[in-house]
Amino acid sequence: MQELSDEELDALILTRLKLVGVDLGILPADDPAAPADQRRILASARSFLRSTPRAIRDLPFFHEGVVPALYPVAASGPPAHPDEG
Amino acid sequence: MRDGDLPQDVWVDRRAFLLRMAALSAAAPSALAFVPAGEGYAPPAPGAGSSPFPEAGLPGDSSLPLAPGALDPARSAFEAARRRGLARWITRSLPEGEDELTVAEALALMNQGRLHPRALVEAYLDRIRRLDGVYRAWNVVLESEARRSAEQVAGWSPGSGPLHGIPLAVKDNYYVGGVLTTANSHIFREFRPSWDATAVVRLRAAGALVLGKTQMGPLATTRATTPEGRSTTVNAWTPGDPGVNPGGSSTGSATAVAARMAASSIGTQTGGSITAPALAQGLTGLKPTMGRVSLHGVIPLTYSRDHPGPIARDAMDAALLLQVLAGPDPADPRTRGLPPVPDYIRAAEPVTRNGRPALRWPTTLGILPGYLSGPPLEPGTEPEEGVAVQRRTRMLEEEAARRVMVREMERLGVRVVELPYPEEWDVLTGGPLNNVRLPERSEPFLTWLRTDVRLFGSALSPWINGLLLSGDEYLRGQRAKARLLEIVLEQVFSRCDVVVQTSPIPFDMIGLPLIALPIGFDETSGPARPMGAMLGAPPFGEERLLALAAAYQSVTDWHRRRPPDPEAALVASTPAGPRPWWEADPAEGVDPGRREALRGARPRRGVRIDAAQVMDLSQ
């Protein structure tokens, strides 16, 4: 899958934050002397999104594509013919 | 050896602990249901909102008195030790100053009628007054209260508590009734809880005196800094060099003990915050098993990973504190239904056989790859320069110290085995999986994130990132933690009783106990700096860790080394202490042209939060 651009990720981050009512706009845009600025916060968030969800998705023990017949989805996969219902 | 003589880690049901941890993670979002109702936030004092130093004196009634018999295990363990003879705890020529006494030594002297608590209090207050301007370990010093309490506890009597008259330092994220509890954060700038954290209630009930609140990394993140990220507390071994990491986030607690400004202390650990400052400052820090010590009344960082515990001078002092701290608390579901609290004091008493120091229990120590000899330099590697050389030299020094430590332990009778890293260790303990904790940070603080993100200062990023993880990712991450715990129990603790660790993160993730202890000093450049080792154990392995540390400390003296006081010129050029974080000028060290703008951008102080919001935070 193609990497998302910085702009795409920034849009995702800012939209998500807006949905929960968090406003980064109160921070300076780019000020290395400030405790936090929008540029650094967004850079950190982009790095987080580029690494963490993928690492969790690719964890061993959790198989992709198996029928979630058991909860939690077992490391060994579902039984061959899971009962319906 | 009778079964009753075995340490708890031998007979405890590890599978039950695994299930408990899995349930704890899943239950985290609904844990509020377990928190009792009640006011948690005192009404603001008149004028408090405008003063950086609101007056103390708000109601200090503890709304959660200890249940009858809650301290019985601690009292029984201490009484048994007293019958065995507390004088045995004095194993060296007594130092001249009271400030140098360990907790155990002070208790033994008080038991003999040779020491009064007020002498201890005055010794520490004197050092705080003279030297904390340099160390910056404290946010609040309860000078009057400590003096008054020391007079009230009087001399020793048969009913005296296990920590009778012992002055302690308390990290500034523990609620202390009527006393500022800031967590070095703008959010709590004016927060004065009206009741004590359960840990503080237990310590006071055992006779301990709260000397004050210590500086910390903002909201228990980094080393102690202002909310804007400027360092405050220094390493007691290098007071003239703020650049040397003192360890965090329980920085002030460690510096207070290392600099002999308190007999002992309590901190909290979510990602190394007890063990790191203990390692950096030559102390013995113990992070207990998840749930062993109540977190009720501790400002939260990560519900499924926060652990309170002692940062002490040696293993016996850590045992004395843990003996009092440990136990079930109706207000903290993590503490319920655990195995009974064992006798930690006995575990930490040194043992001799045939006149020689020995182990209390047969113990196998697991050594992981690279612990005793890190990766060799690649052939043809060019000589390093500057900082890289220093780092490499320190690494070699640490490896040498570790080898000596292992040899000493072998002489004590420890069996050493080399272990491979467990399956998928790097994946399951790496940064991305460690990030799974972040939603647990963000959720209780959402109100403040929405109010003004500047309240989080330089620590903001992880709180924002925690809002970006999806629910399915959080759940899968929690299940991966349960898998990690299962692997560690199956592949590590089936082959050893104690294992070396170089990072606290894995055992912090899965709630297993860790102890940090000094094993030498790095004297390759500048002032001597402590080096230490970190050892981990299976669930409820605190006795094993304390016993091993105590045996090691009976044949070494690293834990007895005392840092030299700051140079007189440095003391003379520094304002007198204590100097809390809020005394720092936000524009200190900044280009004059920018100062006014920075001061103007400062977030408003001391956001008011109501009782319901405090209960949110008290998860």
**Phi, psi for B183 (deg, rounded to 5):** 50, 30
Residues B223 and B184 sit within 8 Å (Cβ to Cβ):
no
- Does the beta carbon of B274 lie under 8 angstroms from any beta carbon of chain A? no
Instruction: Mutate one of A8, A27, A52, A57 to test the B interface: name it (highest B CB count within 10 A).
Output: A52
pLDDT band per the 50, 70, 90 thresholds, residue B504 = very high
Whether the pLDDT of residue B611 is over 50: the answer is no
Mean pLDDT of B567-595: 77
Q: Hey, is the C-beta of B229 within 8 angstroms of any chain A C-beta?
A: yes
Nearest CB to B479: which of A28, A49, A72? A72
Residue B391's pLDDT is 75
B92 in reach of chain A (CB within 8 A):
no
Q: What is the mean pLDDT of residues B586-610?
A: 47
Global pTM value: 0.88
Which residue in chain A has the smallest CA separation from B461?
A41
SS3 label, residue B4: helix
Average pLDDT over residues B120-142: 97
- Over residues B439-463, mean pLDDT: 96
- Residue pair B583/B262 in contact (Cβ under 8 Å)? The answer is no
A58 vs B118: CA distance, rounded Å: 60
Where residue A69 falls among pLDDT bands split at 50, 70, 90? low
Q: Could you give the 3-state DSSP secondary structure of residue B429?
A: helix
User: How many whole angstroms separate alpha carbon B138 and alpha carbon B462?
Assistant: 26
Annotation marks residue B144 as catalytic: no
Per-residue pLDDT at B156 exceeds 70? yes
- Torsion angle defined by CA atoms of residues B307, B408, B280 and B247, in that order, rounded to the nearest 10 degrees: -20
Q: Is the pLDDT of residue B301 over 70?
A: yes
Of B372, B374, B375, B373, the closest CA to residue B405 belongs to: B372
Least reliable range by pLDDT among A67-81, B42-56, B329-343, B447-461? B42-56
Least confident stretch, B130-144, B272-286, B521-535, B574-588: B574-588
Question: Cα distance from A36 to chain B (closest Cα, Å)?
Answer: 5
Check pLDDT > 60 for residue B94: yes
pLDDT over 90 percentage in chain B? 74
| Confidence (pLDDT) at A71 | 56
The per-residue pLDDT for B319 is 98
Let me know if B249 is a catalytic residue. yes
d(CA B328, CA B17): 16
Instruction: Determine, for residues A26 and B435 on separate chains, whether the beta-carbon distance falls below 8 Å.
Output: no
pLDDT value for A2? 76
pLDDT at B35: 36
Write phi, then psi, for B410 (nearest 5 degrees): -65, -40
Which of A13, A37, A56 is most worth mutating to test chain B (most B CB atoms within 10 A of its CB)?
A56
pLDDT at position B276: 98
Q: Name the nearest CA neighbour of B151 among B161, B168, B165, B166.
A: B165
CA distance B288 to B541: 8
> Per the structure block, which two tokens stand in for B452?
């003004």
Shortest Cα–Cα distance, B466 to chain A (Å): 9
Across residues B198-223, what is the average pLDDT? 97
Q: Average pLDDT in the B17-30 region?
A: 68
Q: Cis check for the bond before B51: say yes or no (omega within 30 of 0).
A: no
Q: What is the mean pLDDT of residues B231-255?
A: 97
User: SS3 breakdown of chain A: % helix, strand, coil, rounded to 5?
Assistant: 45, 0, 55
* Among the ranges given (B20-34, B173-187, B233-247, B562-576), the one the predictor scored with the smallest mean pLDDT: B20-34
Nearest Cα to Cα of residue B315 among B376, B360, B370: B360
- Report pLDDT digits (tens) over B371-423: 998 655 555 555 556 667 777 788 888 999 999 999 999 999 999 999 999 99
**Choice among B185, B249, B253, B554 that is catalytic:** B249
Phi, psi of B415 (to 5 degrees): -90, 130
Cβ neighbors of B257 (< 8 A, separation 6 or more) are: B169, B263, B264, B265, B281, B283, B311, B312, B313
State the ipTM, two decimals: 0.84
A80: contact with B, CB 8 A cutoff:
no
Asked if the C-beta of A61 comes within 8 angstroms of chain B's C-beta atoms, the answer is yes
Distance CA B585, CA B153 (A): 40
B468, A72: Cβ pair inside 8 Å? Answer: no
Which tokens belong to B366?
Answer: 């697991």
Q: How far is CA B580 from the centre of its chain?
A: 19
CA-based nearest residue to B321, from B265, B380, B281, B369: B265
* C-alpha distance from A80 to closest chain B C-alpha (Å): 23
- Going by pLDDT thresholds of 50, 70 and 90, the confidence category of residue A68 is low
Weakest mean pLDDT among A36-45, B122-131, B265-274, B389-398: B389-398
Q: Quick one: pLDDT at residue B393?
A: 81
Q: What is the mean pLDDT of residues B288-309?
A: 95
More confident residue, B430 or B20: B430
Spatial distance between the Cα atoms of B239 and B226, rounded to a whole number of angstroms: 18
Angle between helices B103-111 and B315-325 (to 10 degrees): 80
What residue in B sits closest to A63 (Cα-Cα)? B476
Q: Supply the pLDDT for residue B13.
A: 87
Whether chain B has a CB inside 8 Å of the CB on A17: the answer is yes
Helix, strand, or coil (residue B225): strand
Are the beta carbons of B156 and B111 closer than 8 angstroms?
Answer: yes
Q: How far apart are CA B311 and CA B501, in angstroms?
A: 18
A-proximal residues of B, 398-457, CB under 8 Å: 424, 427-428, 430-433, 435-436, 446, 449-450, 452-454, 456-457
Residue A81 pLDDT greater than 90, yes or no: no
Strand pairing of B209-214 and B167-171? Answer: parallel
pLDDT at B608: 40
Local confidence band at B41 (pLDDT 50, 70, 90 cut-offs): very low
Taking the C-alpha atoms of residue B223 and residue B184, their distance in angstroms, rounded to an integer, is 11
> Of A26, A27, A60, which is closest to B424 when you measure between CB atoms?
A60
Confidence at residue A66, expressed as pLDDT on a 0 to 100 scale? 59
Instruction: Give chain B's largest Cα–Cα span.
Output: 74
pLDDT at B600 exceeding the cut of 60: no
**Which pLDDT value is given to residue A62?**
73
Other C-beta atoms within 10 Å of B100: how many?
14
Length of chain A: 85
Best probe of the B interface among A10, A18, A22, by most B CBs < 10 A, is A22
The yes-or-no verdict on residue B89 having pLDDT over 80 is yes
Interface of B with A in 482-501 (CB under 8 A): 483
Tokens for B505, please give them: 């993160």
B222: three-class secondary structure by DSSP? coil
A32 touches chain B (CB under 8 A): no
Average pLDDT over chain B reads: 87
Mean pLDDT score of chain A, rounded to an integer? 83
* Neighbouring-strand partners of residue B515: B286, B535
Touching check for A69 and chain B: CB below 8 Å? no
* Residues B153 and B110 sit within 8 Å (Cβ to Cβ): no
A79 pLDDT more than 50: no
When mean pLDDT is compared across B368-382, B441-455, B591-605, the lowest value belongs to B591-605
Told to judge if B481 belongs to the known catalytic residues of this protein, a careful annotator would answer no
The residue ranges of DSSP E strands in B381-507, in sequence order, are: 415-418, 498-501
Query: Taking residues B600-605, what's their average pLDDT?
Result: 45
* Min Cα–Cα distance to chain A from B475, Å: 10
